[in-house]
Structures are given as C-alpha cells and as structure tokens.
Structure 1
C-alpha cells in the first residue's frame, strides 16, 4: 500500500498521493456518499480501507476520482494545498489537506569526499505516522453525525503563488470565480487529525465541523484556540502563526490582498469544472 522505503523524492511523492487518495476515499465512504460498488478494499494491518475506484455507474464517485487525479498533477509540480468541503447552503464540514514541500539540501560525506543526500527520517517512523493518521481519520468519521440529504461536495485547490504559473490549471479544474466567502453554520470546532513528514514532503490534515455534529472526540484532537478562518495567506504561514488566528464563523477561502499589494497578487484558487453528487446511498 505504501512504499517499503521512503528515501527518495519519488517515493515520498507516492506516499503523499496515496495518503490523499485514501483519506478522501475514507471521508466519502464513512459519510455515506456513494454505493459499495464505487470502492475497492485494501488492508493496512488490521484496518480495512475502502478506496474509491472509477465506477462508471456512479457519476459522482467518478468525478471525485478525476478531482484526485487533478490534485496529483499539482502535487507533482509542488504547487498546491487542498480544501475538501461539504456544503448545505452554508459550509457544513471542511477537510484541509495542507502540503509543504521541503528543499532537500545535499550534504558532504567527509570520509568519502562525496556529496550526497543524507536521510533524516526513518521509513518505519513515516509509515507509522501514516497508519496513525488514517486510523484517527476513520475514528473521527465514526463520531460525526450523518450529513443532510441535500449536501453538495466541492474541492478547492489553493496554490503557492511564488512557484505556480498564473495560467496553470490541473486537469478537471478551472479558475475559481466565486467571492470566496463561505459562512460556516453553527459553532465550528477544529480537529487536528494528524501529520506525516518525510525528507521531502509534509502533509497535515485538519477537519472543521459544527460542534453539534460531533458525538464525541478525543480532547487531544480539538484545537481549542485554533483558526476557523481559512485564508490564502495560511498556506505560507508557519503553524505557530496559524494557531494565533482569531476564531470566527466566516471562512474566507479567497482572501484578497489587493489593498496591500495589488490585484495581481491575489491568491490563486481553482475549483472543479463540474460538481456532481447524485449517487448518495
């Protein structure tokens, strides 16, 4: 399921791609979006994983698979961080997959007079962190109350402006033309699912939901002073800066910096070309 060793950038990329695909599959399966035929089964130790596949009988699940493939393209280019949301008039649930890309620096091996990459993280530790993240996500999904029947699903791709070409759009996505302001219904609570770090990538997963929709949760998951405002600036902020954000009920997914640095520097955002979700169980 995951690479046996994770010592190269390509192996690390395979890991984060699979973690993203499995996580999104877990969310859609546990939230009851698509029929059993839309999923294949894999096992991670004793954890049964349901993974989305291209089910031509269900247009909704087929569309999600295409979204994930578009995310893979942006991940390969090191451009993107991802928001995955359920909407019901207002924002019902938000899943944030935050990716950071590390610049691996060659180090000199003095004894052999050779310049090479020195591995700092053990593959075993990385895989343990991956298993822990998925288990936590599954546990959290089991403790969320059912979604409303008239739910809409969308995905927002937010980019690092300093490296992303202005005209870039991954397959299946287009420029986000919305206002970017989404009102979160109820009393939002932020939950830290976990993170996985390799020598080349860092992936963090957070969930925001209405407190009333949460049956119970490990207190260690809850960000008591965590941010409910998600802005484009957040992609370039350090974690400590994010923790200091003020808790409010308005999520600004298209935060504009026009007042400071002009409209040409507004954070680049993509949205799906199509929104299909007509295969609820």
Structure 2
C-alpha cells in the first residue's frame, strides 16, 4: 500500500496521547519519530544550511525541522527527503526491521553508524500498558541524547548512505520507493552499535536507536545498550521487526537489505572463478589444505575443492559453495586473480575484510546443516574474529552463542548473500 510522503515533523501532545490507544496513530507517530531522529542526527553531526531549518521544542528539548521540505537546496537535506517515501512505505506495511545510517569520511571509511531497530505489536496496548507519560518521557530522552551529539566537533567531508533490513514476512520482490536490492551491504561489516541513545515504546511500536563510532571508541564507555535481549528474537515476543540501506543485498522472504538508487553503488571488478573436478573425498585428512579461512583442518561434512591454476585445496563453503558439485567446473581461487574467480562476493571486500566473510560462511554452513557449531571449528577461529561473527549473527537474530539457539527462519537472506548459485543451502 502506497503512502503519502509526509515531511512535517512537529510532535504534538495529542498525537502522542492517541499513539498509545490506536495502532494507526502509533504507526504515524513512529514514522514521525524516525524521520525526526534521522534529520536531527544529521544536523548534530554534519553541517547543514541553517536557512533551510527551523527549531521546534518538545518538553524543553529543542529539535530541528525543515522550513520548506518541497524546495530543499542543501544536498544533504535533499538526500534525506529522498529517503522518506521508502521509510514510510516500509513502516506502513510492517516490513521495516532496521535502518542503518552510515557517515563515511573522504576515504570512504565509515566514521559513525546509527541504527534504528523497529518492533511491531499485533495486539492492543493492554499487556504493556504504555501511557502518555511513558511516551513523552522516552521521546524527551531520545531527543536530548541526539541533541547532545552536537557537543562534539562536527564531521567534515562526509558522505551519507542508508540501509534497511526487513521482517521475514516481507515479500521477496518488495522494494520500498526509491530503493533497490543491494549487492554489498555495509551493515554486515560494521560492529553492532555499542551505545544506546534511547528508545520509544507506544505499546504498538517500539523504536530503539544505537550508535557506533569514534564518539564511543572507549570500549569501557558507560553508555552501553541497556537491553541486550532486545536484539534476540523470542517465541514469546509479539513484536515483529524490519530494516533498510543505501547499499542493498538480496531479495528473500526473511530479513533483506536494500540500497537507495540515489547513492552511487560501489564499482566491483567482475571475476570468473572455477572449480576442479578433484575427486578428493570430504573429510579425508589433507595436510596441504591452504584455505582462505586459514584453518588447515578438514571436516567430515565439508567438501574439498581444488583450484585449477594453483592446485591449492579449499573448503567448498569458504569459497561460497555448499559442496563440490555446486562449484564451477573450472574453479579458480581468488588468490589467482579477482578477474578470474566465480566467487561473486569476496571481490567486493578488501583483503582485511575477507577472512571474516570466509569464516562466517563456514560457521553459517554448519548452522544451516546441523543447527550447531562443532567445537573443532570454534576452537580454531581467532577469538577476535569469532566475537565479530557471533555478535553479528546474534544481532540479526540468527544464532545466540550463549543459548546455542539457531533461528533457521532468519538465516535465509544471509545464506543467499554468502553463497553462490543458490538462494538457500538445499
């Protein structure tokens, strides 16, 4: 269902009061809050044209709105407005799970990340018993936390990109207005937001905003997320979730990632890779395995493939294949050339990032096939790499290492992105 783009950000007491009694008005308030937070984060961290802005006040906390949304002049304001239809459309349909707002420096590296996580409650606001007082207090706290970002020096020469992820019920072909499927999502590479700026819960909808970046580089910062369990899906949790981006990934029934067409996509050199007709059996001891995962061990359930150029042996999943039957007959490893490898994913990452993606492939492969991780594998992976991967899987509600619970329903999109030639490991 298409929705009319709204750019007016005035937050009224009457709308807040009704947001705890009506799911429709709660959704409208949620849309306004998301738009308001994104605009004010941009304003507090980057230089905007003051003449295009005006100040409003909510319970003593000033926040910024646009003077004339129909005639923006500043390029960042124009970019922000171009996102609004997609955001509102995805929320209107209960598809949007998360929003990732990236701020990149002149070198293209991500300086700061802001993440909005949305939950939808199908039931009336009776169990939660949220009131006007609750929502006003949470709105005030979140706006103040965003305003406090302005106490830090603003970023210069910064480019904005935005990404979404979606709830599993989202149709495979769905793309919000102005967005298209991403090939190389940034949200899979960045650390999970360490500082929670705040959350607003009407009883029907909940928004949680977190950030990561130089402002909280100190790992011992006291501004840690207060509700770590919120990133974990529970069978008792009645709230559904959804997401977005500027560099998008795959179209699948589970969480998806999208990229805004207004943002330049990253140029990727195309490779053509190949696989050998090597008939070495999976699980046989191979002391000459020289896989990209840097693990010189074999696994009983993992096929070995051989590069036709250098003859080196690799775990099939590490190069994006479930088994050697699915690999290219003329498999050529990425070490023998980006231009000749059929691995469609690895060339999109730099040398430092590839080991994480490769090990994630191996971990996801075992989860999808066995719903658990072998000790031999986990004991062999570097602790820092293991933490990054497990944190990411937990963040996307796929695997919780503490409870050893695997959510197969949510794994589809990640599998579709990580592995070649197959949407799912079937």
TM-score by shorter chain over 0.5: yes
SS of the residue 1:164 aligns to: coil
1:49-60 aligned at under 5 Å gives the runs 49-52=63-66, 53-60=69-76
1:205 equivalent in alignment to 2:212: no
Superposed, 1:146-157 pairs within 5 Å as: 146-149=154-157, 151-157=158-164
Match of 1:126 in 2: 135
Aligned partner of 1:74 in structure 2 is 90
Matches within 5 A, 1:92-111: 92-104=111-123
Counterpart of 1:41 in structure 2 is: 55
Which structure has the larger Rg over C-alpha atoms?
A: 2
Match of 1:144 in 2: 152
Q: Which runs of 5+ in 2 are unaligned?
A: 1-10, 235-246, 265-426
2:56 and 2:65 in contact (8 A); partners too? yes
Q: Is the 8 A contact 1:99 1:204 kept in 2?
A: yes
Closer, same or farther: CA 66–181 of 1 in aligned 2, 3 Å: closer
SS at match of 1:56: coil
| CA–CA distance in structure 1, aligned partners of residues 187 and 73 of structure 2 | 34
Q: Shift in Å at residue 214 of structure 1?
A: 4.8
Which runs of 5 or more residues in structure 1 are unaligned?
A: 107-116, 228-233, 239-252, 257-262, 277-281
Q: Which residue of 1 aligns with 2:257?
A: 269
What's 2:411 paired with?
none
TM-score, normalising length: structure 2: 0.48
Alignment length (residue pairs):
233
Q: Cα deviations across residues 169-205 of structure 1 (Å, max 9, x unaligned)?
A: 1111111122547765xx9971111111122111100
Structure with bigger RCO (C-alpha 8 Å, 6+ apart): 1
Deviation at 1:54, TM superposition (A): 3.8
Asked whether the equivalents of residues 195 and 212 of structure 2 are also in contact (C-alpha less than 8 Å), the reply is yes
Separation (CA, whole Å) in 2 of partners of 1:49 and 1:264: 37
1:135-192 per-residue CA deviation (whole Å, 9 max, x = no partner) reads 11211x124333142x21111011112x1111111111111122547765xx997111
- Would the alpha carbon gap of residues 146 and 183 (structure 1) be closer, same or farther in structure 2, given more than 3 Å must change? farther
- Change in 2 beyond 3 A, CA 1:235/1:271: farther
What is the alpha-carbon distance in structure 1 between the residues aligned to residue 187 and residue 199 of structure 2?
27
TM-score normalised per structure 1: 0.71
Change (3 A) 1:142 1:57: closer
